[in-house]
């Protein structure tokens, strides 16, 4: 029981830390992380529902994106999500991606 409590506290502190540091990033960086997290969550949802990677890629290729780089990035995120053995819920994948993206951007600066 003690280890579960410690794990919950550690996760909470990590989330608070990410939120506090996220304020140091530009609005654009935060939007890109949020967008990527949405793509990862949608890819996980497709994967868990049994949609093939081929179908998911075709669906992405038919989508219109605001920026030219978004199409390739969305395909990359989707492929990585499908290659992962993870069975996490899409919301958890979305949160994990967002936190990882924020950490990456903070480390880059």
**Can you give the pLDDT at residue 3?**
44
Beta carbons of 81 and 40 less than 8 angstroms apart: yes
- Burial of residue 26, with CB atoms counted within 10 A of its CB: 0-12 exposed, 13-18 middle, 19 or more buried: exposed
Residue closest to 35 by CA, chosen among 107, 101, 104:
101
For residue 24, the model assigns a pLDDT of 82
| pLDDT band of 21, cuts 50, 70, 90 | low
pLDDT for residue 10 is more than 60:
no
**CB distance 47 to 81 below 8 Å:** yes
What pLDDT score was predicted for residue 76? 97
Is a pLDDT exceeding 50 seen at residue 59?
A: yes
Q: Are 40 and 99 in contact (CB under 8 A)?
A: no
> Domain-by-domain residue ranges, the chain?
2-108
| pLDDT value of position 11 | 52
Whether pLDDT at 13 is above 80: no
């Amino acid at each position: 029981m003690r280890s579960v409590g410690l794990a919950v506290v550690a996760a909470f502190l990590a989330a608070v830390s990410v939120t506090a540091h996220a304020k140091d990033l530009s609005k654009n960086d935060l939007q890109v992380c949020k967008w990527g997290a949405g793509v990862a969550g949608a890819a996980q949802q497709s994967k868990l529902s049994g949609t093939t990677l081929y179908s998911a890629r075709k669906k992405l290729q038919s989508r219109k994106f605001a920026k030219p780089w978004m199409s390739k990035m969305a395909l990359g995120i989707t492929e990585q999500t499908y290659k992962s053995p993870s069975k996490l819920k899409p919301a958890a994948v979305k949160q994990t991606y967002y936190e990882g993206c924020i950490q990456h951007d903070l480390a880059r600066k």
